[in-house]
Amino acid sequence: MIYEFKYRFIRKLSEPLGNIFVNFLRINNFIDFDFIIPVPLHKRRLSWRGFNQSELLASQLNIHLATPIINDLLMRKRNTAPQMGINDKEKRIKNISDAFNINNDANFKSNASVGTKFITKQIIKNKSILLIDDICTTASTFENCAKAIGPLEPSQIWALALARG
């Protein structure tokens, strides 16, 4: 399903895949995050695919849990090779190393909010963050995202993926 979603561009699969996240979080009582942050795509890959699969999955969480999403807090500053095409663990780690940074013009977005707010360090500081991606193999993507967010001093950074390995 993940392959069909990402590479055959079947956006509607975000609903059942997102529901997997929702059910997991509810069953395990992990629903008290302050913000959801999807792993960003580089603008070239976003243009090619037409959507960010992590943003669509995060939107499903927002719909069901009303946890605000910050789609543009993280930016992919360079166009990395797709991790799927790299078999060597060390090469995967190097490929994604230092690929993310903070967007100082990010907006706070939520279906429960009344507009947008400028993201400042004070908004993220001492808040719990849930990073969302579709697949986690080496955890390098999540680690690099967390490294970029770290200076904003959240209290916790959690990561959730549909598949591992």
| Confidence bin at 75 (pLDDT 50/70/90) | very high
Q: Residue 16's domain spans which residues?
A: 2-164
CA angle 88, 93, 97 (to 5 degrees): 150
- What is the pTM (predicted TM-score) of this model? 0.87
Report the CATH number at residue 61.
3.40.50
Confidence of residue 111 (pLDDT cuts 50, 70, 90): very low
Domain count along the chain: 1
The span from the CA of 135 to the CA of 120, in Å, is 29
Residue 25 structure tokens: 């979080």
Q: Are 80 and 94 in contact (CB under 8 A)?
A: no
In terms of residues, how long is the chain?
A: 165
- Helices and strands in the chain, H and E counts: 7, 5
Query: Which residue, among 114, 31, 41, has the nearest Cα to 72 in the 3D structure?
Result: 41
